[in-house]
Amino acid sequence: MHVERALRLIAGTFVLLSVGLAAVHSLYWLLFTAFVGANLLQSGFTDWCPMVWFLEKLGFRRCSKA
């Protein structure tokens, strides 16, 4: 699996999990949803994401650029 795909899976999981926890437990979990969204937004502008760095350290490879 490539970094880009793993990143989308992790972000989607975090968003769905935090929305579910907000519905069941506390609305403060939506702050985590906002954090994930803000991180995705800034990575779109800067092309830098801490999770990408972490995944690369775990051995995931980037997609080859054509």
pLDDT at 66 exceeding the cut of 60: no
pLDDT at 64 exceeding the cut of 90: no
Q: How confident is the model at residue 63 (pLDDT cuts 50, 70, 90)?
A: confident
Q: pLDDT, tens digit, for every residue of 1-26?
A: 899 999 999 999 999 999 999 999 99
Q: Is residue 63 part of a domain?
A: no
Sequence-ordered list of residues with C-beta below 8 angstroms from that of 24, at least 6 positions apart, any chain: none
pLDDT (0 to 100) of residue 65: 63
Residue-number span of the structural domain to which 27 is assigned: 3-57
Sequence-ordered list of residues with C-beta below 8 angstroms from that of 21, at least 6 positions apart, any chain: 29
Q: Is residue 62 part of a domain?
A: no
Total tally of structural domains belonging to the chain = 1
Q: Is residue 65 part of a domain?
A: no
Q: Is residue 28 part of a domain?
A: yes
Sequence-ordered list of residues with C-beta below 8 angstroms from that of 5, at least 6 positions apart, any chain: none
pLDDT (0 to 100) of residue 55: 93
